[in-house]
Structure 1
Amino acid sequence: MAEKTTIIVQSGDMDKLYSALIVSNGSLAMGMEVSLYFTFWGLLRLQKGGLNKGPLSKMNFGGLGKKMMLGRMKKNNVASLERLMSDFKELGGKVIACEMTMDIMGLTRADLQEEYIDEYGAVGTYVQEARNSAITLFI
């Protein structure tokens, strides 16, 4: 089995996207390959300007909870989602955008931040990545 991590990023919630990117960057730092398969609401975070648009998964309180969380993160020098994604790409991480979700949600490649995306694929693309992975997660 390859030293590889594959994560389905299904949620567009801010805290879950943080989790996916933190685990991914940690895996890359430990010398593993990493693939992120963005689908459904996770894929919406790859829209132009969409990385920071997701709510918190719990206690969002109409955006007040998210604002409080972002303030605490800044105070504790937690990297932004943009920084984590930039680091992920610089470390050699791979992003796959789900074509079926694009069709369902009416998105085109022009709607997405193509500088983040390495490949467009369907479930078979994910399965091929996962079958060769030591770690697979669904976030």
Structure 2
Amino acid sequence: MPEKISMIVFSGTDDKLIPVGVISQAAAALGYEVHVFFTGWAMFKLLKEPAPEIWPKEFEAMVPRLKEGMARIKAPTWKDMLKQAKQMGAKVYVCSMMAEAAGLKKEHFDPTLVDDVVGVTTFLERAKGGQVLFI
């Protein structure tokens, strides 16, 4: 049975979305079954017209240095890493309750990032038996 890792992504700040890309891509490359469930503020980053970058106030002074370093090492964006993970079989979902509360439907989300809009019970069934991370 292959290893399985699932992530519940709540935070919409870019400092937390970078690890979502890194972990999903690495796990998929290792052959893990990967499921990523975007809810809360994070789901707005998956819209066809996504929310702008948001960084925690306490880290704002370090953002330019981080961005320069990421460019220097030619690191892909978190979205590109997530897309690469999807190419290796990872699945990305948006929480149906939060989407409905925000007046959003599947067609509002970027189809290169989002596989489906599902309820938490569906996600938990898919995550069953694996490790679950909350980001």
Shorter chain as denominator, the TM-score bin is 0.7 to 0.9
1:16–1:57 contact (8 Å) kept in structure 2: no
Q: 124-133 or 67-76: which moved more?
A: 67-76
2:5–2:33 contact (8 Å) kept in structure 1: yes
Q: 1:22 to 1:115 in 2, by over 3 A?
A: same
**Structure 2, unpaired ranges of 5+:** none
TM (norm. structure 1) is 0.85
Please state how far the C-alpha of 1:12 moved relative to its aligned partner.
1.0
TM (norm. structure 2) is 0.87
**In angstroms, what is the RMSD of aligned CA positions?**
2.0
Give the aligned partner of residue 40 of structure 1: 40
Q: Deviations over 1:1-39 (max 9, x none)?
A: 751100001111112111011111111111111000010
Give the aligned partner of residue 132 of structure 2: 136
Please state how far the C-alpha of 1:112 moved relative to its aligned partner.
1.0
Task: Find the aligned partners of 1:7 and 1:16 in 2 and give their Cα distance.
Answer: 12
2:19–2:78 contact (8 Å) kept in structure 1: no
1:95–1:118 contact (8 Å) kept in structure 2: yes
2:35–2:126 contact (8 Å) kept in structure 1: yes
Give the aligned partner of residue 56 of structure 2: 57
Percent identical across equivalent pairs?
27
Please state how far the C-alpha of 1:77 moved relative to its aligned partner.
1.9
Equivalent residue pairs, number: 135
**Structure 1, unpaired ranges of 5+:** none
Q: Deviations over 1:55-95 (max 9, x none)?
A: 1235344xx64344222211222212232122111111101
Give the aligned partner of residue 106 of structure 1: 103
